[in-house]
Structure 1
Amino acid sequence: MSALQEKETTTRASTSTRKVRSTWPLYLLFFVFAGLVGATISFEFLTDSLVALGIPDPGPVTTWGLPFFRAVGWMLAALAIGSFMFAAFYISPKVPEGDNSRLVEAPLSVDGDIAARTGAVSTLCFGLIALLMIPLTLSDVSGTPFRNTLAIDMWGVAISQVSTALAWSVVAGISLVVGVAGLVFRKWIAQPLLFVGAILTIVPLGMEGHAAAGGAHDYGTNSYLWHLVGMAVWVGGLMALIAHGRRLGPDMETGLRRYSSVALFALIVMAISGLINAAVRVEWSDWFTTTYGFILVAKTVGLVLLGFLGFVHRMLTIPVINSRPGMFLRFAVVEVILMAAVTGVAITMGRTPPPPPRDPNLSQMAIQMGYDLYEKPTLGNVFTMWRFDVMFGSIAILITAGYLYGIWRVYRRGGTWDHRYTAMWLLGTGSLFVTTSSGLGMNMPATYSMHMIVHMILSMVVPLFLALGGPLTLIMAAYEPGEPGRPTAHDWALAITKAPLLRALTHPLVNTMQFLFVFYVLYLFIPLYELAISEHAGHLAMNWAFLISGYLYFWELVGTDPVPVKRPTAIRLAWLVGSMPFHLFAGIYLMQLTTVMGEDFYMSLGLPWELNLLEDQKVGGGIGWASGSFPLGLVFLLLFIGWRRDDRATEIAYEERVASGEDQDYEAYNEMLARISAGGAAREEFEEKEFPRAAETPAEDTPEPPEGPVLDLRSRRKR
């Protein structure tokens, strides 16, 4: 019996005396407890909040209902995220014949299917709560009784005039799509995408509220997004593990170890992002002198206590999880109850007015962008201005550290790694960091020309270098393949390179269209561009679109990672050449445009230097035309070199086959020549035998032409 079989036998024996128990009663306990904590605290401080905001009391339904359902909604979102994450990465699917290279075909196991269904139902329930929050939000901000905001026409007012209601409507739409997809797609390959989709359901709520208003709102919003995602992954992952333990599922130890690593990272992210967010909105002296500060202190103490409890919990329970799983479940339930309490406390911050801002006299520029600019950007001074981008600067640091950690694992396993790939990756992450955190990123929202420079770098330079770095290849080299039927990070990365969705996206036609679509839609539909630059949410979404679209485009063209269908270099080169005019035309179009895009927003900034908006837009169009040519030219050169390399490799392989006598086409050609040669010799022998005189007539016996004038019939005919 193998060690794996012995381990499974021991696990089954240890759980044979236990009963499978449903987890929904615990879920309800977590949800109701979080809701009651949030509603109680909000009710205690509601009077002060309403007085500060000058809003009449909307009534008990809104007073209790809004914080209660908001807290329940957050717990549902966390459960959805944790369940999809569990189905994707914490438990093994039913891999066909135990062949991990066929992971992309694998259906979910029974436990994975239950987790995925839990995620789908939780997402749909979150969507229903999001719909309920639209009239509740309108009632809260207007002081109107809840029953009066249920009319359909009032929903339109709420969505069009209240940013929080608009955010909840977007949440409802995303939740509907993700929830239905979770019920339909039951293979493993869909679970990572559903996990990302579940995270997207909470993103709109992170883009509104106190963090998105006032000065330094770029810091506030970006740090708040990190905080929310970290909390959801932390809380949701533990709830999914509790459910798995109560139904006596397999691989509990593996799932717990993987969750522990993720939970530690999530806790660090929450601590750092929480401190940044608090530093932006609250003076240190306000922590113990204001209601908002007291709530912030209570939340911080709760997180510290949870972090310590979680650390002790993992240290004690992981070594004995197979022999004493009940101990883990008891501790985990207590831990989630504390998490629910912290969630309830955090919810109340949205209804409690923060202390007065540090600078009550913010400029219009600081209100719109989050900070002030003092000098006109030039080629030199953009690299002397620095403002760390909490979103993309952090991502640049994290993926750099992750890549270097992967290289360390490769060398620890005794392997080697091509340093050219490392150089390309570091160029990509370095470009991302400098572009978003230097004066380039700072001035991007202020002028069209700087916007276009950053756009070109984010869509054509950063993705090109990252695609040449081969991150999936590094993962496959850094991690060993899992045991049969037990996939690891190596097998996950391999499955991604075979995914059907990637096959469709990397088709040359689809890939080219998606890359051009982002560019043309953004600039041809002017209202979309104005929305993207005037709202921080639009700014973030636009930059993410540049990076993702560019990475997919260059991955298929010149990327070092495998793709489902690797087309010949000549075909990829032909697609690039065919699409280049479309890339360049957009820049020419922008240079000819006579309408200033985003004019109202740019005029509202009040820049401290003179700026001709139309001329600046033409400069931006020229930058888009010229700077786009450089990376595309580099890609053309790479593809051309690759094409010549492929041809040379084909020639060498052909010559080697010919030299070894293994080329059947070459041998057949020689046989054909031999037959032709043999046929010519036989013909000569036949002619010599049948026509001896003709064959022996010397050349000098050929009759000479008659002497004298030659009759020219053509001249006679003319006469």
Structure 2
Amino acid sequence: MLVPFLHTTANVESWPRAWHLHPVLVPLLTAAGVGYLIALRAARRSGRRLPPAWRAVAYFAGLAALAVALLGPPDHFNGVLFWVHMVQHLLLMLVAAPLLVLGRPIWLALWALAPRTRRGILRATLGSRPVRSSLSLLTHPLTVLFLYNGSFIAWHLPSLYQAAVVNELVHELEHASFFGTALLFWQVLLDPRPWRPRLSTEAAVLLLFITWMASDLLCATVTLSSELLYPIYAAQPRPWRLSPLGDQRLGGAIMWAAAGVLYVALLLAFLAYPAMRRASKPRHRPERPSGQRHLAS
């Protein structure tokens, strides 16, 4: 029998207490939170205009989602319940990553630096042709489309998926792949500057639509399959009397519904944004000639 991932447990009664302190992740998450606060303070002292409060809330909500996914119950039950593993993937790719990007940590860190240091960093990245070309290729919409969807689909192939369940190193690689490609995808979609211009509405909608269809294809395959795609779960204890096939279908349905709702909401938002922006602009009345103003008074 294969040995599941080290943190896995089948004792559902311990669910609320299923947390662990990872020797690498805890310091990294702490440093990310403290660093953001330090950057906010430095930006305030320099007289810079601070980002809206909701961006800081989004950033720390993203860190909280990361902590839940990697240190909490999803990390303990992912080797026993397929649907829990899917929740973990959703937290990494569709919750934590976009929230962190919305917090604009890169912009905040740059503006918190001394002007000379900031100019040096921007000159080294945007002023160097090889670096600029590499960044342009890495952040190209087609590149992020391939990396994000390719990672999502590849890691759900039965061979790779089951290897990630039984091997901690492979599991960490899976998480890094999911989270890294998701950060890149959402950065390009939501806030690509200063590395590249903001996407047009048409490009953003197309990127989202293709990603939505790729996600739907995988989720439909998992949900509607009459065969057990991941036999490793058949050898595990069955909490809540959920059969392995029922577990697989539940996990696929959760992915299908959650991803679908998010992608559709974002599609509608991108389509509505230009009209909302036009409507929010004040309309300037044509100024009347001085004679008409005098008569009106």
Q: Distance in 1 between matches of 2:22 and 2:124?
A: 30
Q: Is the 8 A contact 2:78 2:165 kept in 1?
A: no
1:415-454 equivalent positions in 2, closer than 5 A = 415-418=48-51, 419-454=53-88
1:367-516 equivalent positions in 2, closer than 5 A = 368-371=4-7, 373-376=9-12, 382-418=15-51, 419-482=53-116, 488-489=120-121, 499-516=132-149
Runs (5+) with no aligned partner, structure 2: 288-297
Runs (5+) with no aligned partner, structure 1: 1-363, 661-719
Partner of 1:44: none
Partner of 1:176: none
SS of residue in 2 equivalent to 1:411: helix
Q: Distance in 1 between matches of 2:29 and 2:6?
A: 22
1:620 pairs with 2:251: yes
Q: Is the 8 A contact 1:503 1:563 kept in 2?
A: yes
Change (3 A) 1:502 1:644: farther
Q: Distance in 2 between matches of 1:413 and 1:542?
A: 40
Amino acid aligned to 1:373: T
SS of residue in 1 equivalent to 2:116: coil
SS of residue in 2 equivalent to 1:446: coil
Q: Is the 8 A contact 2:59 2:99 kept in 1?
A: yes
Q: Is the 8 A contact 1:467 1:561 kept in 2?
A: no
SS of residue in 1 equivalent to 2:12: coil
SS of residue in 2 equivalent to 1:387: coil
Q: Distance in 1 between matches of 2:239 and 2:222?
A: 26
Among 573, 581, 585, the residue aligned to 2:217: 585
C-alpha displacement at 1:628, in angstroms? Answer: 0.8
Partner of 2:290: none
Change (3 A) 1:391 1:642: farther
Q: Is the 8 A contact 1:590 1:618 kept in 2?
A: yes
Q: Distance in 2 between matches of 1:532 and 1:518?
A: 13
C-alpha displacement at 1:398, in angstroms? Answer: 1.8
Deviations 1:469-525 (A, max 9, x none): 111111221012327xx95456567679x83233223333332222211122222x3
Q: Distance in 2 between matches of 1:641 and 1:608?
A: 44
Change (3 A) 1:493 1:445: farther
Change (3 A) 1:372 1:514: closer
Partner of 1:644: 275
Amino acid aligned to 1:594: S
* Structure-1-length-normalised TM-score: 0.36
Change (3 A) 1:392 1:630: farther
Aligned residues with identical type, % of pairs = 19
Among 558, 562, 565, the residue aligned to 2:190: 558
Q: Decide which structure has the larger Cα Rg and report it.
A: 1
Change (3 A) 1:452 1:415: same
Q: Is the 8 A contact 1:573 1:639 kept in 2?
A: yes
Q: Distance in 1 between matches of 2:265 and 2:31?
A: 27
Greater relative CO, 1 or 2 (CA 8 Å, sep 6+):
2
1:535 pairs with 2:167: yes
How many residues matched? Answer: 284
Q: Is the 8 A contact 2:212 2:259 kept in 1?
A: no
Among 231, 239, 251, the residue aligned to 1:599: 231
Q: Distance in 1 between matches of 2:30 and 2:133?
A: 31
Change (3 A) 1:569 1:372: closer
Q: Is the 8 A contact 1:374 1:608 kept in 2?
A: yes
CA RMSD of aligned residues (A): 3.1
* Structure-2-length-normalised TM-score: 0.82
